[in-house]
Amino acid sequence: MIQNRALVQPSNCFAYDSIYWLNKIFWTCLVIGALTVGIAHPVYAQNNEIQTDFGTIEKMTKSDEEWKKELGEKEFNVLREEGTERPFTSELLEEHREGTYVCAACGLPLFKSSTKFNSGTGWPSFFETIEGHVETKTDYKLVLPRTEYHCARCGGHQGHVFEDGPQPTGLRYCNNGVSLKFKSSDEDAAE
């Protein structure tokens, strides 16, 4: 004799529903990320130069071995391996002079001191970059997409940009201090 058993339909099963929605969320994020990659990227000329509104930046390429000779261990980890320094450890948090923040690897100016603000996050923060001097890409290391930014010349990892900064941009460029060097206005005038 065959017993009547209730059939479990996949749509009635909690585990199936969870997997279904996680799969939908994953693919939606993947598609959105793929569509946003390339937005805010400068135009490259054929000779490995970046054309910006303010001139041309020649791309710099070096091997990991070359970078290891030029950078310290912490700098290499952050700039070349996209690591993150511990919060509240950067000396640049207390830097309040007028000047320019440049990439620690290649010296390209990235931020003016007038755009720096105290975000309370433990990393130097800025609300605006020097136009055309950073490039962005989507980062999925923490599952949800974030916008990561790099030096436009050498590709050195700087940090992430968030939409919770002050006006006039509403952006917060949260930078690893080890990725930057500060040049005061006095140093710039002496050169």
The tens digit of pLDDT for each residue in 10-63 reads: 555 555 566 666 667 766 655 555 444 443 434 344 456 665 555 678 899 999
The more confident residue out of 12 and 188 is 188
Q: What percent of the chain has pLDDT over 90?
A: 61
**DSSP string covering the chain:** ---------GGG-HHHHHHHHHHHHHHHHHHHHHHHTTTTPPEEPTTSEEEETTEEEE-----HHHHHHHS-HHHHHHHTT---PPTT--GGGG--SSEEEEETTT--EEEEGGGEE--SSSS-EES-PPTTSEEEEEE-TTSS-EEEEEETTT--EEEEEES---TTT--EEEE-GGGEEEEEHHHHHH-
Q: What percent of the chain has pLDDT over 70?
A: 70
The more confident residue out of 71 and 42 is 71
pLDDT on residue 139: 81
Least confident of 98-102, 120-124, 139-143, 183-187: 139-143
Query: pTM here?
Result: 0.71
Is the separation of the CB atoms in 161 and 76 below 8 Å? Answer: no
- Residues carrying an active site annotation: 174
pLDDT on residue 45: 40
